[in-house]
Structure formats: C-alpha cells, structure tokens
Amino acid sequence: MRQSGKYVLGGAGNGGMRVHIDGKVLVEELANRRTKVVTKEIDLEAGRSYDIRFDYYVGTNTFAAAKLVWSAPNGERTLREEAINTARQADAVVMFLGLSPLVEGEEMDVPFEGFRGGDRTSIDLPKQQEELLKEVQALGKPVVLVLLNGSALAVNWANEHVPAILESWYPGAEGGTAIADVLFGDYNPSGRLPVTFYKSVEQLPPFTDYSMQGRTYRYFKGAPLYPFGFGLSYSKFKYSNLRFSAKGINAGDSITVSAEVQNVSDRSGEEVVQLYVSDVASSVPVAIRSLAGFNRINLKPGEKRRISFTLTPRQMSLIDDNGRRVIEPGKFMVSIGGRQPDLNGRAQTGEFITGDFVVAGRVTELPEK
C-alpha cells in the first residue's frame, strides 16, 4: 500500500463470496441472491504487503459474476479532482453518470444515500455524481450527459443546465459505438421513453398504496420531468389535418383516425407517431389516457405523409362496477403526435393534434377476445 489509512475492501457479484485478508475473514456473504456488494472498512499501512484471498461460490439459478472491489482513503475525492482537471483541459465533456446493477436490484445492501435494502428512497442522481456534474458544468465547457440506468432518474438540475442529455439505459457490449454514432451525428436518434420520468418521489403516492392512481402515464395528473413517450431528434416534425372516418359511430364499431406528419427540418429522420385515446364521459374511473397505437416512419426533409390508425371496440371499452367489459355512449378524445397530449387537451401545437368523436348506444358485455 502506498498510503496508510482506512480502505474499503470486499466483493461484488451474485451467489456467495468470502474475502480473507492475512488469513482472517473480512467479509462473508453466502446467501444465494442476485447481484450485491459486500464491503468493510479496514486500516492498512503504507509499505506493508497483505495476503488477500477471494472465495466465490456460484449460486443456483444465477449466472456467475464476481469481482474484488476496493477503494483507497480519499479515493472519491482524488477521482473527482482527476475528472475536473481532465474536463478543464478538454474542448467538450461527455459525462457518463447514473446507476448500475450493483445498486439497482432486489434484496441488496446498498450503503449509499438514496437506497435502502434494494429499494430507492430517492430517484435523483446519486449526490456525489450531481455535485461533480455541477462542478464540471461550471467550467463553461459544452457538456453532454449520458445516463446509464435501468430505471427512471430525476435529473432536474441537468434538464435546466446541461445542453444535451442522452438516455442510454444499460446499452450492452456495443453501447459505446451506438452512443458515439448519436453524439457525432452519424445516427439521428428517434427513441421514446417507455416509462415516466418523475421530478421526485414526492410526485408519487406512498409505496403502500397499491392503487394505480397517480402512477404511470395512464393515471398521473402532475407535470413529469419527461413523460412516457418522450424523445427528441435532430429532425423536427409537425402534425396537422386530423381526420376521422366518422364523427359519430355506434357502440361496437371501429373508427379510423389519421393525421398528416411533415418533416419540417433539413435532415431526414425517423418519427414515432403515437395515438392516445381518452374516455371523457365514463361512468366509472378510467385511465386519463391510453396509448392505442404507434407507427415509426422515416421522412426526408419537407416530406409529408398521412398516418392512419384504427381504434377497435375493445380500445373504447371499460370495466363497469359489475366487472363486465362494456362500451358506453359518450365522447372520446383522440391525440396523434410525437408525444403525449397535454392534460388540457391543447390542440394544434405542431407536436401533436387532438380531436374527438362520439359513440352512440351501448354494448352491455364485450367478449374478452
């Protein structure tokens, strides 16, 4: 060891593991669990050699994964200083921040602020990462934030101060190549979020509340950081001329709805056209909105195309108080766009377009198939 002080030593992986130092057990975790980190602080002296042995036991129904982990005294501060000094010398900075499978999972002992027993008590970026992001941003260099995570993150400060944010999830072996293609403009991104990114856990009901009210894009009434279905592109698209095959239909009939999509930028790109439907006259509580269809299209600069969807009777149905799937008379709101509609149903924003149609009559029991 080059420096005396308190080191953190242990193991990370699944299955069981045991770390010895000079013949004595330092940490031991033999439970057959998913990925976890087990560490302990230990005083080590500079200039002295230590015998370290790492035993690993493959668990049942798991893949083999294990590694020895350690950190030196003041290691976090040293790494932060190294990162800031490197950024100070750069023309532009790409920061890879977020989470990892070592902190995201079930039945895990995660000794960091914002985590408890494998659960997350905060959905913010880990505190040390956000502090580093602020310090680097203060250097005045162009910054790109690349997020690595398996669940939503509340990157509120970054949303307001960082020019570009790329969500890459856990991208796999070729993730670096894919990220580079996007950042250098060789690929025009067109992904859409499959989950809602909330601003904080305060926007969500208590975890003990098992109802869906206030959760997911279908029942959330607040203003999220990034809504389900959100995603940006190097191209820009405009929606117009919403049409229905009829302004009114009988219960049990299908209806076709379409809109024109135009690439109003100077670059070819893909757009994910999304259809949302809302039952605004239901007799029982229903979802605020539901995704009823989507279509990925590629448009050249200036190109315009009409995209059509068919709403089926089942997509207009609900479950009544007697547990039956029925179709009720009333008005349905529809939105087509590259994003969710606003809660107030504002139309003609260019990013989406809304309209409504009316269902007459009633189907008292719709077959499940």
The dihedral over CA atoms of 37, 43, 45, 48, expressed in degrees to the nearest 10, equals -50
Burial of residue 344, with CB atoms counted within 10 A of its CB: 0-12 exposed, 13-18 middle, 19 or more buried: exposed
Name, in order, each residue with C-beta under 8 angstroms of 344's C-beta and a sequence gap of 6 or more: none
My answer on whether 136 and 174 are in the same domain is: yes
Q: Are the C-beta atoms of residues 13 and 66 closer than 8 Å to each other? A: yes
Provide the residue range defining the domain that includes 304. 237-360
Average of per-residue pLDDT across 63-72: 83
284 and 337 inside one domain: yes
Q: Are residues 183 and 254 in the same domain?
A: no
Instruction: Concatenate the DSSP letters of all residues of 257-319 into one string.
Output: EEEEEEE-SSS-EEEEEEEEEEETT-SS---S-EEEEEEEEEE-TT-EEEEEEEE-GGGG-EE
Q: Dump the DSSP string for 123-178.
A: -BPPHHHHHHHHHHHTTT--EEEEEE-SS--B-HHHHHH-SEEEE--S--TTHHHH
Identify whether residues 114 and 146 lie together within a single domain.
yes
Q: Are residues 255 and 354 in the same domain?
A: yes
Q: Output the CA–CA distances (angstroms, integers) from residue 220 to 235, 266, 318, in the order listed.
A: 29, 36, 19
DSSP assigned state of 103: T
Higher pLDDT, 74 or 186: 186
Question: 105 by DSSP, 3-state: which?
Answer: coil
What is the CATH classification number for the domain harbouring 263?
2.60.40.10
The mean per-residue pLDDT over the stretch 264-274 comes to 98
Would you say residue 261 lies in a domain? Answer: yes
| CA distance from start to end of the chain | 68
Boundary (domain end) residue, out of 55, 71, 87: 71
Residues 6+ apart with CB under 8 A from 95: 132, 133, 136, 143, 144, 145, 146
Q: What is the pLDDT of residues 209-263, one digit of tens each?
A: 888 889 999 999 999 999 999 999 999 999 999 999 999 999 999 999 999 999 9
User: Quick check: 107 pLDDT over 70?
Assistant: no
**AA letter at 193:** L
Over the stretch 276-292, which tens digit does the pLDDT of each residue have? 999 999 999 999 999 99
What tokens appear for 159 in the block? 């949303």
The answer to whether residues 250 and 356 belong to one domain is yes
Whether residues 136 and 244 share a domain: the answer is no
State pTM to two decimals: 0.84
Q: How many CA atoms lie within 13 A of 262 on its CB side?
A: 11
**By C-alpha distance, which of 65, 67, 69 is closest to 14?**
65
Judged against a pLDDT cut of 70, whether residue 81 lies above it is answered with yes
- DSSP SS3 for 113: coil
Residues 269 and 329 in one domain: yes
| Proportion of the chain above pLDDT 70, given as a percent | 93
Number of domains in the chain: 3
8 Å CB contact between 353 and 314: no
